[in-house]
Amino acid sequence: MDISSRARSIPPSLVFELDARVGELRRAGEDVVSLGAGQPDFPGPEEAVRAAQRSVEGGNVGYTPASGIPDLRAAAAEHVGRVSGLSYEAKQLVVTSGAKEALALALAVACDPGDEVILPSPGWLSYGPMCQAVDAVPVPVPGDPDRGFRWDPAALDAAVTSRTRAVIVNSPSNPTGLVYSRDELAAIARVCADRDLLLVSDEIYWPFVFDGAFVSPASLPGMAERTIVVNGLSKSHSMTGWRIGFLAATPAIAKAAGSLKSHLSSNAATPSQHAALAALRAGDAHAEMMKDAFERRRGLALAAVAEMPDVVLEPPAGAFYVFPRVDAYYGGDITGSVALCASLLEHERLAVVPGAAFGEDRCIRLSIAAADEVLAEGLARMARHLAALREGVAGRTA
């Protein structure tokens, strides 16, 4: 039986493949330190767990409206509106199975086959495959590496063609930690307005800004009507596996996304929706606690990387990753970031993600959403392996 060309063209997520490999090694008794997946190491809010338990114990596990239970849509509309500085009604909000589904629905609603979508580069590794899944054309536009991979508005404008339909912005950014200022976002917004483009704003890391302030492009003058906001609870409330995301947009776009969702996946898991409602009602204390921890860990990572010769790292302004440039260590068998990450896993049992997956082969991504002692051990293993590579004596030490 033949597989569609669409399916053949889309590779599996490298991060999930890496996680699977880490699991295999650990089941075999190996001592693996994983700084790969972007998953906070904190438990989710107790309020969420108790609400899910009540939902299950009460038999409240049936179908809900595809766009979410009314109370959660209303609470999510208030939450996204407060974060973005706008006012949303419940009818403008779709509760999705994670922010990934919200992004996929945004692209499916926005794009016809052959439409182009401008993506940040480096940028999250699923943006491109999501475009391909709806027969849209991903157009990565590189950011300036000397300015933290920020877009030059002129370069962004030059990438627009007659087929361009949308632009994806991710601030704070995965993998770079880039946080755009209001003025920088205004320049991007002007390109979108002048070229009549939709803007998809991936705001999943909004609570984690260490330098500057979070700004939603939807809050800029004239942008509310042309911005689809994507948010969720995976990062802010450490509820990754609960799979709750939010899409907020104009009523027409939200209705179209909800209709499409009703055929593709129906509702997000009912117990998860009740957990999400409780988490939102509990406020932002959980996110604030994690932000403090991530900021402390950022300091640990920056200090450790500063001791590694020829590794270049701009301090991330947000999210919970560091994205150091390590190409000074390429050579011989280490042909790029994929080979370096494979070598780190083989010789030091350290799992990190190659920058090539995000569009920047000179870098690797390390998650700092790990316990302090785990992060410190991972950084020590990285330093040891780079030193061994420098001396030409890399070998298994873990």
CATH number of the domain where residue 95 is located: 3.40.640.10
Are both 66 and 148 inside the same structural domain? yes
Report if residue 313 sits inside a domain. yes
Give the residue from 252, 282, 312 where a domain finishes. Answer: 282
Same domain, 273 and 310: no
For 26, residues 6+ apart whose C-beta sits below 8 A from its C-beta are: 32
pLDDT bin (cut points 50, 70, 90) of residue 94 is: very high
pTM for this predicted structure: 0.95
Are residue 62 and residue 123 in the same domain, yes or no? Answer: yes
Domain count for the chain, please give it: 2
Residues 350 and 228 in one domain: no
Residue 395 has pLDDT above 70, yes or no: no
Q: In this structure, is residue 397 part of a structural domain?
A: no
**Together in a domain, 268 and 291:** no
Residue 43 pLDDT: 95
Q: Which two tokens stand for residue 124?
A: 């999250």
In this structure, are 349 and 210 located in the same domain?
A: no
**CA 165 – CA 118 distance, rounded (Å):** 8
In the listed set 237, 254, 282, which residue is the last one of a domain according to the structure?
282
- pLDDT-based confidence at residue 393 (cuts at 50, 70, 90): low
Q: Letter for the amino acid at 24?
A: E
Domain limits for position 26: 5-43+286-390
Residue 340 falls inside a structural domain: yes
Q: Is 360:122 a contact under the CB 8 Å cutoff? A: yes
Q: Does residue 53 lie in a domain region? A: yes
Tokens linked to 45: 């809010």
Are 350 and 224 in the same domain? no
**Res 364: pLDDT:** 98
Confidence of residue 21 (pLDDT cuts 50, 70, 90): confident
Q: Looking at the structure, do residues 264 and 315 belong to the same domain, yes or no?
A: no
pLDDT above 70: percentage of residues in the chain? 98
Question: Do the domain assignments include residue 395?
Answer: no
* pLDDT above 80 (res 49): yes
Last residue of a domain, one of 251, 282, 313: 282
Nearest residue to 21 via CA among 366, 279, 362, 342: 342
Neighbours of 207 (CB within 10 A): 21
Together in a domain, 277 and 294: no
Q: What is the mean pLDDT of residues 139-149?
A: 96
**Per-residue pLDDT tens over the stretch 73-88:** 999 999 999 999 999 9
Same structural domain, 76 and 132:
yes
Assess whether 264 and 128 both reside in one domain: yes
Same domain, 355 and 239: no
Could you tell me the pLDDT band of residue 394, with boundaries at 50, 70 and 90? low
Task: Report if residue 297 sits inside a domain.
Answer: yes
Of 268, 267, 221, the C-alpha closest to 243 is 268
Interval 316-369: pLDDT, tens: 999 999 999 999 999 999 999 999 999 999 999 999 999 999 999 999 999 999
CB 180 within 8 A of CB 171: yes
* Residue the block writes with tokens 């632009």: 167
Contacts of 27 (CB under 8 A, 6+ apart): none
Q: Does residue 396 carry a pLDDT above 70?
A: no
Judge whether 398 lies within some domain: no
* CATH number for 336: 3.90.1150.10
In a domain, 38, yes or no: yes
Across the chain, what does the average pLDDT equal?
Answer: 95
In this predicted structure, the answer to whether residue 398 has a pLDDT above a threshold of 50 is no
pLDDT of 173-229, one tens digit each?
Answer: 999 999 999 999 999 999 999 999 999 999 999 999 999 999 999 999 999 999 999
